[in-house]
Amino acid sequence: MGWLPLVAAVVMGHGGASAEAAAGQNVRPDLDLEEPVQVEDVEVFGRRGAALTPPEIELDGADIDALGAWSIDDVLKRMDETLALGGQPLVLINGRPTPNVSAYTGFPPDALVRAEVLPPEAAGLYGAVPGQRVVNLVLQQNFSSYDGRAVGSRPTQGGTSTLSGDLRRSAIAGRNTHQLGLRLSRDTALRAGERDRALATDGPDADLVTLRPQSELLSANISLTRGLGEWSGVFSLNGQAQESRSVAQIGVGVVESRRRSQSLGMSGGASGQVAGWMVQTNLNGQIARSQEDGLQDMSSDTLSFGITGAGQRSLIALPSGPMTANVSAGFQGSRATVERDLDRSVHSFQTNSARGALSIPLTKSGGPGGRDRLGDIVATFGVGMRNSGGASGEDVSAGLAWTPRRGIRLNGEWGASTDSVPDIQRSEPEYYGPPIVVFDFRSGEAVEVLPIRGGNPDLTPPESERWSVSASWGPFTSWGLSGNLGYVRNAHTNGIGSLPELTEDVEMAFPDRFHRDINGRLVSIDYRPLNLSSTFSESLTTGANFNLPRPAGAAGQEATIMRVAISHSLQLASVTRLRAGLAELDRLKGDGGGISRQNASVLIDAQRGRWGANLSAHWQEGYRTRRLGGVDGPDDLVIADFMTADLRFSFQMMSGRSRSGTGAIETPRRRSTGLQVNLEISNLFDTRREARLGDGSPAQGYGRDMQDPLGRAVRLTLQRRF
């Protein structure tokens, strides 16, 4: 990768009159043209907050309100579930990247005009990493609200409860925004004596063990954005204090522990134009302290600081469109001090990264002379390098997106990387997590163990290669029907992951990870991250989305809003080699901890006037975990098919026809100031995971309250705008 600096220098230094003009078109202030304008029989459309490419899927205000979310952050999470975004997307605000998206995600959902999922080629236009989707959030021009929320939750079996309260102030006036939030929550403990469970490892005081710890949380945040001429500034501050108390079984006795943590984080950034580039930069810092007494006496202090910068520019105006360049760089440093008993250790880490990407339009539908009949074809190329903890890494990626006709999109991506190890995976202090129940093949019994969590300073840099091909279509017809089909192939060497499910193969490969007492009974498992020699996987995903047609001219509160999303994933291959020299394990056949071959889900969001409903149903195919790899046996663990459903109803006490806005033209509020009541039932049918042994006999550790002691829970939410 020694040629990366040369490429970056060429990109940064390239210019020209046409490039300046094209860049100006891409970064000019947003136009407020929501309606078409007729100019000499030419219809010109302009949309405030539009991105560089039209969206693949768009949610308007009514769709967003039907999600029943509390914040924009909840909207993004629901969109990821519904639209299969594949993890954390790159988020634009009003069509532009922002130094700190968290300054906006605490706003109420009705602060959004629309939310857009951009097609895969947008990743190259905005410098996203390979496989990352891009979401554009368009905010209201003027918005103001005071919101409060109280939440109570309790499982139908009882034994524990959760209470929380939120207060929020939000305001938007053009580019100037501010948001303040306060949250307080308390969870009571769930003890083993409040559930029907019996383990071979239970001592006389086992009923006092906490299956869920008692905890209290207090958090506060503030964020500000300001227009500074041609520039915009953003600042955020957040703090959190949490305390939890738990009881764990050690041998035949129990030990009570208390864990306390406090953190304070700050971030400040700016975005604007420099020499034809749209640039953004951000500074961030965090101070955190945690203490634990009881099970282990430990304290840790962590100080971290980082700076990131990114730039975007149109380089050359090609006949098929502008060539776009994205460059980014960052530095992150951290220092962790850990004190345990009389031992004190200090760990310092630094991470430097840089990345560059080019997006090149090869053809454009309707080009000069109508010669580009292939449609739109866009190629993207990216290179990056990273140095962390003294280890360096690099990555190369390429992609090709083809839109042969409107509503049909084909996309292919390839990426290879030699990555460095994230600091948090090296430096996080070691600690004991809440007890968990596992099935021990060696003894043939279910036992409760203490999991060891934290970082692993011995991790080595992983290597990976990724191929993906996808096709998407729609939306078509008045139902807004859209669908997608995708194939992904991943291969990793020394990939960083978690310990596979306990089998004799896994214990033989990592004997130091399993701790047994003098009688051979399992008491603790080390779940800190580790390097797996190699992994290979192939998967196929399909999905479909549609929404109920709405009558022409019907307002959001008058029409019935309903969006349905159906998805399915099929694991074609999953092979793991735990350590060099060992045989490969076929996870789909049950070696080294089995995995499900198929998963499916259905999500429905609906609203009619003051009523709303949200349904999520997920199904997972059963699978086998072999005691010994290579052959099915009578002592294997056979997990049954599993399905769970969550249902939520909401009701607005007042229909709310009041108006908001500070300009001459006021717009109807999408949300009433009246009380809103939400009733949510998670795990509606109170289903629990079931298993048997290979010979058909019951499997220990899979009784009703073993794997999921909470089960069905009812949650009541009261929220109001003041």
Q: How far, in Å, CA of 142 to CA of 205, rounded?
A: 59
H or E element at residue 61: helix 61-66
Q: Would you state the pLDDT for residue 366?
A: 67
Q: How far, in Å, CA of 587 to CA of 703, rounded?
A: 25
Q: What is the arithmetic mean of pLDDT over 458-471?
A: 90
Q: 543 Cβ partners below 8 Å, 6+ apart? A: 83, 84, 483, 484, 565, 566, 567, 568
Please check whether residue 702 lies inside any domain of the structure: no
Q: Would you state the pLDDT for residue 350?
A: 85
Residue 112 has pLDDT above 70, yes or no: yes
Q: Would you state the pLDDT for residue 6?
A: 36
Identify whether the C-beta of residue 535 lies closer than 8 Å to the C-beta of residue 576.
yes
Identify whether the C-beta of residue 488 lies closer than 8 Å to the C-beta of residue 467.
yes
Identify whether the C-beta of residue 517 lies closer than 8 Å to the C-beta of residue 251.
yes
Q: How far, in Å, CA of 699 to CA of 702, rounded?
A: 6
Q: How far, in Å, CA of 578 to CA of 593, rounded?
A: 11
H or E element at residue 341: none
Q: Would you state the pLDDT for residue 655?
A: 53
Q: Between residues 433 and 404, which one has the greater pLDDT? A: 404
In the structure, what pLDDT confidence band is assigned to residue 563 with cuts at 50, 70 and 90?
Answer: very high
Start-to-end C-alpha separation, the chain: 57
Please check whether residue 606 lies inside any domain of the structure: no
Where in the sequence is the domain holding 198, given as residue range(s)? Answer: 185-209+217-296
Please check whether residue 200 lies inside any domain of the structure: yes
Task: State the Cα torsion 507-511-515-520 to the nearest 10°.
Answer: 70
- Of 31-40, 292-301, 375-384, 425-434, the one with minimum mean pLDDT is 31-40
**Tokens at residue 562, please?**
């309903």
Could you read off the pLDDT of 130-146 as tens digits, one per residue?
Answer: 678 899 999 999 999 99
- Residue 124 has a CB neighbour count (10 Å cut-off) of 27
CA 223 distance to own-chain centroid: 21
The model carries a pTM of 0.84
Identify whether the C-beta of residue 395 lies closer than 8 Å to the C-beta of residue 353.
no
In 212-354, which ranges are continuous DSSP H helix? none
Residue 27 has pLDDT above 70, yes or no: no
Q: What is the arithmetic mean of pLDDT over 203-216?
A: 89
Please check whether residue 256 lies inside any domain of the structure: yes
Residues present in the chain in total: 722
Q: 553 Cβ partners below 8 Å, 6+ apart? A: none
In the structure, what pLDDT confidence band is assigned to residue 555 with cuts at 50, 70 and 90?
Answer: low
Q: Is 8 helix (H, G, I), strand (E, B) or coil?
A: helix
- CA nearest to 565, candidates 621, 515, 501, 614: 614
- Of 171-185, 319-333, 547-561, the one with minimum mean pLDDT is 547-561
Beta bridge partners of 625: 637
DSSP class per residue in 194-207: GS----TT--TTGG
Q: Would you state the pLDDT for residue 43?
A: 45
Q: How far, in Å, CA of 68 to CA of 137, rounded?
A: 17
Please check whether residue 236 lies inside any domain of the structure: yes
User: Three-state secondary structure along 119-174?
Assistant: CCCHHHHCCCCCCCCEEEEEECCEEEEEEEEEEEEEECCCCCCEEEEEEEEEEEEC
Please check whether residue 367 lies inside any domain of the structure: no
Q: Would you state the pLDDT for residue 617?
A: 97
Query: 456-474: buried (b, 16+ CB within 10 Å) or exposed (e) per residue?
Result: bbebebbbbebebebebbb
Q: How far, in Å, CA of 308 to CA of 283, rounded?
A: 7
Residue 535 has pLDDT above 50, yes or no: yes
DSSP, res 74: H
**Tokens at residue 257, please?**
């522990």
Q: What is the arithmetic mean of pLDDT over 85-106?
A: 88
DSSP, res 429: P
H or E element at residue 23: helix 17-27
Could you read off the pLDDT of 537-547 as tens digits, one per residue?
Answer: 999 999 999 99
* CB burial of residue 359 (10 Å; 0-12, 13-18, 19+): buried
Give the chain's mean pLDDT: 85
Identify whether the C-beta of residue 647 lies closer than 8 Å to the C-beta of residue 684.
yes
How large a percentage of the chain has pLDDT more than 70? 89
Please check whether residue 221 lies inside any domain of the structure: yes
Domain count for the chain: 1
- Residue 658 has a CB neighbour count (10 Å cut-off) of 14
- CA nearest to 366, candidates 403, 419, 407, 323: 403
Please check whether residue 261 lies inside any domain of the structure: yes
Q: How far, in Å, CA of 623 to CA of 637, rounded?
A: 9
